[in-house]
């Protein structure tokens, strides 16, 4: 798939999201072939959750990956993107003191279970979104009509949160698989609720499927979503109220003094 193809929006007509998330899936699951891993000592193959999880099924239009920093959720999300042939917009890495030859190899050991053939898609990471915004600016210099696909304004002239939501509202109109890594970083609580509306509308329309790594208890409340925890090996589904995010935020809002005394 050409890297530029996944950013060409098309029109759509989305129906209202019902109280269940039963739209057809593009991706039914991902299998982790740990017996074929080239090493058990080097990252990411040394992560227990990636060695002990055999398969993660996708049964909802919106799936969340949760877990502490370093748990492996973003690592798997990026590997899935590579295995799906989805381009990740990023600059070349600078010189590093120590090179890990295994760092980007996980995708070779994943089995992507497509429901009805591979579909296009995109990967969003808050830390690399600025690179796409700069590239879009170069396209618009040659063809200003490109901005019409993203609200008619340069993403660089909007705040980080505004440009992020402009991208989401436009990009998710396209049929595809969407992998998002911590999309809440630039979004206010109100904007996160707006993103839930976008996920529900486009997911229920049947053309968009989302797999999202997040720390946001607001996004995790998306109706009908399935939540997988990476804090234990193997990966397991958890109810919203059992996530650490829900428990910590709820406890903090009810009795913040008891939390602040710990610091």
Whether residue 150 is predicted with pLDDT greater than 80 in this model: the reply is: no
- Helix (H/G/I), strand (E/B), else coil: 16: coil
* Least confident window among 6-20, 104-118, 226-240: 6-20
In this prediction, residue 165 has a pLDDT band, given cuts at 50, 70 and 90, of confident
- The yes-or-no verdict on residue 167 having pLDDT over 70 is yes
Using CA atoms, how far apart are residues 245 and 251, in angstroms rounded to an integer? 10
Of the ranges 129-133, 136-140, 141-145, 225-229, the best mean pLDDT one: 225-229
3-state secondary structure of 124: strand
* Average pLDDT of the segment spanning 237-260: 94
Of 165 and 256, the structure prediction assigns the larger pLDDT to 256
Least confident of 4-13, 20-29, 123-132, 154-163: 4-13
Q: How many CB atoms lie within 10 A of CB 189?
A: 10
Number of neighbouring beta carbons within 10 Å of residue 220 = 21
pLDDT at 44 over 80: yes
DSSP per position, 179-222: EEESGGGG--HHHHHHHHHHHHHHHHTTSEEEEEE---TTGGG-
Q: What is the mean pLDDT of residues 140-163?
A: 56
Question: Could you give the percent of the chain with pLDDT greater than 70?
Answer: 72
Query: What is the CATH code for 22-87+102-127+175-190+202-260?
Result: 3.40.50
The predicted-structure confidence for 49-100, as pLDDT tens digits, reads as follows: 999 999 999 999 999 999 999 999 999 999 999 999 998 876 555 555 567 7
Counting every residue written for the chain, the total comes to: 263
What pLDDT, on the 0 to 100 scale, is given for residue 186? 80
Whole-Å CA distances, 237 to 27, 58, 61, 188, 209: 17, 11, 15, 27, 18
pLDDT number for residue 141? 59
d(CA 203, CA 219): 14
142 or 179, higher pLDDT: 179
Residue, of 24 and 118, whose pLDDT is higher: 118
Judging by DSSP bridges, how do beta strands 236-237 and 62-66 pair with one another? unpaired
Contact 129, 167 (CB under 8 A): yes
DSSP E strands, 59-99: 62-66
Check residue 15 and give its pLDDT.
Answer: 38
Do the beta carbons of residue 144 and residue 117 sit within 8 Å? Answer: no
pLDDT at 13: 33
> What average pLDDT does range 192-198 have in this prediction?
95
pLDDT band for 8, please (50, 70, 90 cuts).
Answer: very low
Task: Report DSSP letters for 214-245, one per residue.
Answer: ---TTGGG-TT-EEEE-SSSS-EE--GGGSHH
Name which of 14-18, 95-99, 247-251 the model is least confident about: 14-18
């Amino acid at each position: 798939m050409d890297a530029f193809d996944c950013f060409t929006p098309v029109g759509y007509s989305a129906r209202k999201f019902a109280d269940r998330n039963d739209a057809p899936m593009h991706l039914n699951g991902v299998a982790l072939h740990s017996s074929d891993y080239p090493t058990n000592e080097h990252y990411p193959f040394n992560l227990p959750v990636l060695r002990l999880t055999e398969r993660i099924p996708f049964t909802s239009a919106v799936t969340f990956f949760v877990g502490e920093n370093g748990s492996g959720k973003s690592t798997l999300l990026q590997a899935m993107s590579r295995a799906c042939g989805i381009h990740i917009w990023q600059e070349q890495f600078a010189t590093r003191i120590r090179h890990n030859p295994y760092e980007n190899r996980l995708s070779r050991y994943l089995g992507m279970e497509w429901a009805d053939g591979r579909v296009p898609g995109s990967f969003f990471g808050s830390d690399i979104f600025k690179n796409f915004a700069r590239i879009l600016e170069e396209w618009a210099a040659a063809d200003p009509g490109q901005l019409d696909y993203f609200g008619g304004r340069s993403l660089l002239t909007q705040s980080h949160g505004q440009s992020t939501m402009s991208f989401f509202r436009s990009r998710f109109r396209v049929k595809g698989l969407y992998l998002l890594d911590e999309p809440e970083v630039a979004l206010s609580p109100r904007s996160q609720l707006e993103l839930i509306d976008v996920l529900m509308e486009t997911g229920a329309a049947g053309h968009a499927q989302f797999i999202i790594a997040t720390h946001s208890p607001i996004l995790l409340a998306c109706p009908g979503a399935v939540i997988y925890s990476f804090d234990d090996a193997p990966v397991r589904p958890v109810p919203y109220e059992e996530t650490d995010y829900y428990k910590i935020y709820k406890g903090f809002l009810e009795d913040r003094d008891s939390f602040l005394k710990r610091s």
